[in-house]
Amino acid sequence: MSGDDYSIDAKLVIDYQSGNKMAMAQLVKRWHKTFCNKAYWIVKDKHVAKDIAQDSWKTIIEKVNDLNNPKTFASWSLRIVCNKSFDWIKKNKRTKERLETIQVNNETEELLEKDEREQLLSHLLEAINALPNHQQMVVKLFYTEAYSLKDISRTLHISEGTAKSRLYHAREKLKTILKNRTHEK
């Protein structure tokens, strides 16, 4: 990137900080594709990369007024994109590890071979994905993120009783779905 590019970015940042909202539109036009490409380079998923770029813009818009040296916009904003990309990778790794550690009761586990365990995990993930979105969120927050019912209620802006009810109904549906699959064999 040339010095002129840094000057253009710096001028747009200063214009935005001075109240010209169109300056941000120009920054988005100049940088959005680069953000998507950088995020894709890290996460290797086109759709996730677009989401990360969008989320990065939210953070940039919130914090750009605190940027003291507008000429550093490029490195500052790309650092935000990279950090959000790495955060996504860490979160996905934790979620995957937690789902893999869900164990069936000891008696069943002794009977299951490795392939059957993998198949059960696959069925469990399919069953969770078959739940309505509001129940999926509660199950994922409770089991994979280890949120308490109070934390879930605050995060989803619902009452603690609603969170508890959704978790209960999700468990019941999962039992039914998984029980039906074992009877299909």
Residue 167, C-beta contacts closer than 8 angstroms, at least 6 positions apart: 135, 138, 139, 142, 149, 152
In order of their start, the domains of the chain are: 3-90 (1.10.1740.10), 102-184 (1.10.10.10)
Residue 152, C-beta contacts closer than 8 angstroms, at least 6 positions apart: 138, 141, 142, 158, 163, 167
Residue 112, C-beta contacts closer than 8 angstroms, at least 6 positions apart: 104, 120
pLDDT of the chain along its 185 residues, tens only? 555 778 999 999 999 999 999 999 999 999 999 999 999 998 989 999 999 999 999 999 999 999 999 999 999 999 999 999 999 988 887 777 666 665 444 455 555 566 676 777 788 888 888 889 889 888 888 887 788 899 888 888 899 999 999 999 999 988 888 787 665 55
110: left (phi over 0), alpha (psi -120 to 50) or beta: alpha
Rounded Cα distance between 113 and 36, Å, is 42
The whole-model pTM stands at: 0.52
